Amino acid sequence: MNQDRLRLDLADLADEVTPVDLRDRALRTSRRLGIQRAIATSAAAVVMLGAATGTAFALMPRNDGQAPLPGDSPSITVTPSPAEVTPTPDPSASASVGATSTKPAFALTGTRYYLETTSTQALIHAVRSGSDEVVRRVRFSTDGCAGNTITVSPDGKRVAWVQDSTDGGNTGVLMAGTVGKQEATRLLDGVDCLGSNPLVWRGSDLLMVSRGGVSVLFDVAARKRVNGDPGQETLRCWSADGRWLAAVSDGKPYVTDETQLHQYTYTPPKGEAVKWDGWRVRSVSMDGRYVSVGWIGTDPSRQDGSFAVVDTTTSKTVTLPVSGDVRSIQFAADGKVLVRQASKVVVLDAGFQKIGEVAEPRAVQHLTLLTYAP
């Protein structure tokens, strides 16, 4: 019974359903899909056309040299590489052969000779490349002549002095020897041993001495007196090679090599001049143009220092490139200028340009610098 009732209900329901034409629905669906495919194809064509256009623009040259990126390309920021900078070397960091290091090795390659005096003897120190060696000893007598006269030739080979006074230290015997050896030769009697510079070298073989107030030129190498009148100029001093003579005649200072003559004037500092008995030349440049000057003591004892350089062609004082007190100024045979200060020697070239500095060994800092032999 229940099954019959179910069949009747289904039949009634089927009568109420409206039949659907599936063919028409299929045709409509087919048309809709075709339209969608056409739209998609057109869109793809547009995209491809845009890409081609962007590529064409990218390949076109521009005046600014920069090619545009396609519209759909990611944004790119280009950072230029920093330029490589080569640092400038620091001059102070590089090794120097002397220049201002304060003690360049090339500043002084020769030997400096210093004089040390004690109560019983004189000692000559040879300083070279920082080494200090005593190369000569001269025994003193009680007259004081040796200490006031001992001197070394400009080439550093010979040493001379006066000793054995028999008149209380006024005169004695001229002696000479070789640096580094102890023997000595007796050369001349009655030689004066007083004064600020009683023995003066003319080159390295000839020695000017005074005998009874009269100048005598003696050939130390040949061990004989040089004949001829040496002249009566006073306060003589020669360049290291013996060519140029600085002297005073009739109160007027001059420099000459017997073919040229430079007369000049010099007025020392008044504040210091009152303490001394005048001034004199202590060293002459190799070209005869410049002289270093030092004080003459009020007593008849040796004076080796100098404090100024005078240009004999202009009578003007030369400004030296040093600061502080100057103990002595020497013109060497190789053209260098040695300016000695408290504990060092400042080395200048012939034009007074600084070459370097050389520290003095402590043992010789308070001694007298006799000469420098290149």
pTM: 0.71
DSSP code per residue over 149-206:
H-EE-TTS-EEEEEE--SSSSSEEEEEEEETT---EEEEEEEEE--SSSS-EEETTTE
How deeply is 3 buried, as exposed, middle or buried, from its count of CB atoms within 10 A (0-12, 13-18, 19+)?
exposed
| Structural contact between residues 215 and 236, judged by C-beta atoms closer than 8 angstroms | yes
The whole-number pLDDT of residue 106 equals 60
Distance CA 87, CA 93 (A): 13
The whole-number pLDDT of residue 105 equals 46
pLDDT, block means (10 residues), the chain with 374 residues: 51 49 46 47 43 42 46 42 38 34 64 95 93 93 88 97 92 96 94 94 96 92 87 90 96 96 96 94 98 94 95 98 96 97 96 96 96 97
Angle in degrees, CA 201, 202, 208, rounded to 5: 60
> Domains in the chain, start-ordered, CATH in brackets?
111-373 (2.120.10)
